Homo-oligomer: A and B are copies of this chain.
Amino acid sequence: MDRQQVTQKILSAKVAKQMRWADIATEFGQSKEWTTAALLGQMTFTRAQADKAQQLFSLTDEEAAWLQIVPYKGSLPTAVPTDPLIYRWYEIVSVYGTTIKELIHEEFGDGIMSAIDFSMDIQREADPKGDRVQVVLSGKFLPYKTY
């Protein structure tokens, strides 16, 4: 058994029970973004969170134990994603990557925006010309240091 099999079982249970991520997140008392990433096999559960998942998705004890092990992260099957929705994000990195780099460096100096001390919020933005997806990303700035 490995984590991927547990993820697959969770997804099957979610489909069979017609659950929504937003409702599931409420059960965990966390954001829908973190909860979804965690259940998709990208984050590590505490004991209490694993117990909750075990109950919601009818997992065995061993499956619940796997949720508490840090997973091998990375959710995509290819280096350049083929799914159109995910590709658009890859395209943003490709087209705007150097722009993001220039503007963060101009404001903060040399360093990076953390993808670990990081949170994300995805919302619907009503718009008469067609609703929009608004995503707010927040990552701590980590400066390179001389030594």
Taking Cβ atoms with an 8 Å cutoff, the residues of A that contact B are 1-2, 8, 11-12, 15-16, 18, 20-22, 30-34, 36-38, 40, 42-44, 62, 65-66, 69-70, 72-120, 122, 124-125, 127, 129-147
Contacts and interface: CB of A to CB of B under 8 A. Distances in A.
A124 B138 CA distance: 10
Given A135-B136, A137-B134, A21 B103 contact: yes
B86 A82 contact: no
A136 to B, nearest CB: 5
Contacts of A117: 142-143, 145
This chain's copy number in the assembly: 10
A106 B21 contact: yes
Contacts of A134: 136-138
B96 A108 contact: no
A102 B21 contact: yes
Given A2-B12, A70-B105, A113-B132, 20 more contacts: A15-B65, A15-B66, A15-B69, A31-B147, A36-B102, A74-B83, A75-B96, A75-B97, A84-B91, A86-B100, A100-B122, A104-B133, A107-B133, A112-B116, A116-B142, A117-B145, A132-B138, A134-B138, A135-B137, A137-B137
